[in-house]
Amino acid sequence: MNGTRRALRFTLTACLLLSLPAQAQPADPLPSWNQSAPKLAILKFVADVTREGAPGFVPAPERIAVFDNDGTLWAEHPVYFQLAFALDRVKSLAPAHPEWKTKAPFSAVLSGDQKALAASGEKGILELVTATHAGMTTAAFSQIVVAWLDSARHPRFQRPYTDLVYQPMLELLRYLREKGFKTYIVSGGGIAFMRTFSEKVYGVPPEQVIGSTILTQYELRDGKPAIVRLAKLDFIDDKAGKPVAIEKFIGRRPLLAFGNSDGDRQMLEWTAAGRGLRLMGLIHHTDAEREYAYDRKSEIGRLDLALDEAIAKNRIVVDMRKDWKKIFPFDP
Amino acid sequence: MNGTRRALRFTLTACLLLSLPAQAQPADPLPSWNQSAPKLAILKFVADVTREGAPGFVPAPERIAVFDNDGTLWAEHPVYFQLAFALDRVKSLAPAHPEWKTKAPFSAVLSGDQKALAASGEKGILELVTATHAGMTTAAFSQIVVAWLDSARHPRFQRPYTDLVYQPMLELLRYLREKGFKTYIVSGGGIAFMRTFSEKVYGVPPEQVIGSTILTQYELRDGKPAIVRLAKLDFIDDKAGKPVAIEKFIGRRPLLAFGNSDGDRQMLEWTAAGRGLRLMGLIHHTDAEREYAYDRKSEIGRLDLALDEAIAKNRIVVDMRKDWKKIFPFDP
């Protein structure tokens, strides 16, 4: 054996030795999850559908994973963050609308009368949304949202709203993508609102964000093409609307769905009814200390019937307090 | 130099020699296109937006390419293929609808009275579409379309309709995807109709097909979740509807758009108005021998104002007769 051969053999041996431990113990893809039932179920499911030749194998193009946003990927208390945006925007637009001082629901927002605001109901919320989300081009609206996200702070955590995303879910999204899944957001939130941050914060590109929409119109403004947001509701992507939107935007049934409230029931039901292996999960907000604790009685993100169903059907229920080591990326 | 080293050097030299010609003359990605202006413009554009560090460079996630379907990716004469499907379906459903014998527009279809059918206008077409495209689940509708595509034959070419796709466009779709583009279909055709074959025929997965839609509804049928197609129009993805749908489904402005008729004008205009380099193209049907020749006067796929604009703005106009070596994959 000459010197070159010896050197080659040495290098090969070193390579093998160095790579072996990495193969035997691959890095944990979900480090912020405790080794409890939800994590084990996720890892088993992903292994089962991605192992070529296994009975549960699903080709990569069919690996669709859908996630609700509010309360599933980021927090939603004390109010949906998009509602906080609408309320802030009413305040900033108020000087140009003196009539709002005496006109509900705007008067309730301006005087901080939570009770009157709640009393204005769905009709009131819709009025707020159209007054604050319509009348401008889609490009102008995105800029308004981006500026708000840059400056607004969550009342309890005193941080940008986009900091209040769940670290374990960021890890789950990334892990699924590494395993060939296409990750989608399917939320009652506004599609244009979410698209301003989904790619940066979640790694989910705009074309994989599905949400509620208002009507828009193509027109020429000063000779330049523009798409203008109209003060008219198009579609509410909640409850039975979620499977309808999934079928319309994706055209395939998801393999995996995560939600956190009764608004996600039909999405989970539709996913569960597919052939072969499917994974359905709920995030249960049980951690008042690190985040919030709420379920059956909450006005925002109520989790009642969907929780009963998940328990009866042995689906994943993530107990945030017990199953997650960390809630937010900034947690110690 | 010992034997091992000599062997190594020989192997390296052989590798270099073998790989050099391949590097100097990469395989032509568009072999069915003649070396004329459209092909050169496409190759230059793709090189300009994908060369890292170049002034026109666009990151891969933003490389969105949109294509009309009828007349751009597959043929549309003597009638839109989806209309042929609707007419065939009226005939097969007729025994269960004795009233159709005397009721327009169905009577016109059953008696083969083209003139009466044309006279029923848009309202008549809509009645045909809802009678033949609604009332069943989305899964059942897909099966009906698949069965029709398997058995129906184009009246002139006597081949399955899915054979009548343009070979040069298949090459363009594949080439763009290799270069990091996401290829979308944005068509006036029905979204559910196109999704039954888009992946197999074009390599475009269902979630990248945008089209016209009817309303659907989520319900339980025999205790099983189903999405049911309703006899009510939701959205027509044509003319100004195309940029609206692009913004809604994709949320990004395309880098490249191809169409073939006045229905694609706004899609091309919206694409062209984006910042940086954009590529807009029209397919001009000029080959009566191998396919069809029609433009300004055609009822189906009329190309008039969009052609004037394309000429005035120096956009790509593909002359099918001159620019394409092959039209269909089965051409010699």
Pair B193, B229: CB distance under 8 Å: no
Residue with tokens 């941050």: A197
Residues in A touching B241 (Cβ below 8 Å): 218
Which residue from B255, B49, B279, B67 is spatially nearest to B174, judged by alpha carbons? Answer: B67
Tokens standing for residue B299: 């009822």
Average pLDDT over residues B198-202: 98
pLDDT at A233 over 60: yes
CB–CB contact B270 A138 (8 Å): no
Rounded to a whole number, what is the distance in Å from the CA of A243 to chain B's nearest CA?
7
**Short-list A286, A270, A240, CA closest to A66:** A270
**pLDDT tens-digit readout, B42-88:** 999 999 999 999 999 999 999 999 999 999 999 999 999 999 999 99
Domain spans, chain A? 29-323
Distance from CA of A288 to the nearest CA of B (A): 35
Q: A205 and B61 in contact by Cβ < 8 A?
A: yes
Nearest CA in chain B to A216: B244
pLDDT at A190 over 70: yes
For residue A22, the model assigns a pLDDT of 47
Strand pairing partners for B71? none
Choice between A21 and A332, residue whose per-residue pLDDT is larger: A332
B29-78+162-323 placed in CATH 3.30.2010.30: no
Establish if B95 touches chain A: CB-CB under 8 angstroms.
Answer: no
Chain A residues in contact with B2 (beta carbon < 8 A)? 2, 4
**What digits encode the pLDDT tens for the residues A125-160?**
889 988 999 999 999 999 999 999 999 999 999 999
Q: How far is CA A313 from CA A230, A264, A308, A310, B68, in A?
A: 42, 15, 9, 5, 44
* pLDDT greater than 70 at residue B259: yes
| Tokens encoding B251 | 């949320």
pLDDT for the residue numbered A8 = 55
A250 touches chain B (CB under 8 A): yes
C-alpha B228 chain-centroid distance: 26
What is the band of A1 on the pLDDT scale with cuts at 50, 70, 90? very low
Q: Nearest by CB to A251, which of B4, B209, B266?
A: B209
Assign B2 a pLDDT band (cuts: 50, 70, 90): low
3-state secondary structure of B236: coil
Residue A218 sits at the chain B interface (C-beta within 8 Å): yes
Secondary-structure breakdown of chain A: helix, strand, coil percentages, each rounded to the nearest 5: 50, 20, 35
What gap in Å lies between CA B332 and CA B132, rounded to an integer?
37
Minimum Cα–Cα distance from B208: chain A residue? A250
Q: Is B332 exposed, middle or buried (0-12, 13-18, 19+ CB in 10 A)?
A: exposed
Q: In DSSP terms, which residues pair with A286 in a beta bridge?
A: A293
Give the contacts of A253 (CB within 8 A, at least 6 positions apart): A64, A246, A270, A271, A273, A274
Cβ–Cβ gap A252/B206 under 8 Å: yes
Closest-CA distance, B225 to chain A, in angstroms, reads 6
Are the beta carbons of B161 and B76 closer than 8 angstroms?
Answer: no
Query: Token pair for residue A10?
Result: 């040495």
Complex prediction ipTM? 0.92
Q: Which residues contact A193 (CB under 8 A, 6 or more apart)?
A: A82, A85, A133, A145, A211
pLDDT at residue B7, rounded to an integer: 57
Q: B266-299 pLDDT, tens per residue?
A: 999 999 999 999 999 999 999 999 999 999 999 9
Tell me which long-range contacts A151-154 makes (C-beta under 8 A, separation of at least 24).
Answer: A152/A84, A152/A85, A152/A88, A154/A75, A154/A81
Say how many CB pairs under 8 Å bridge A and B: 89
CB atoms within 10 A of CB B286: 19
Confidence of residue A15 (pLDDT cuts 50, 70, 90): very low
| Host H or E run for residue B88 | helix B81-93
What is the helix (H) or strand (E) element at residue A225, kind and residue range?
A: strand A224-235
Q: Taking a contact as any Cβ pair under 8 Å apart, which residues of chain B between 153 and 182 contact chain A?
A: 182
Using one digit for the tens of pLDDT, what is the confidence trace for B102-113?
999 999 999 999
Q: Phi/psi zone of residue B293: left (φ > 0), alpha (ψ -120 to 50 degrees), beta?
A: beta
> How far does A46 lie from chain B, in Å, by closest CA?
22
Closest listed residue to residue A130, CA positions, set A237, A265, A259, A233 = A233
Cβ within 8 Å, pair B225-A270: yes
CATH code of A29-323, in short, is 3.40.50.1000
**Distance (Å, rounded) from C-alpha B106 to C-alpha B128?**
7
**Sheet order of strands, A209-221 included:** A224-235, A209-221, A182-190, A64-67, A256-259, A279-284, A316-319
Structure tokens at B301: 């796929």
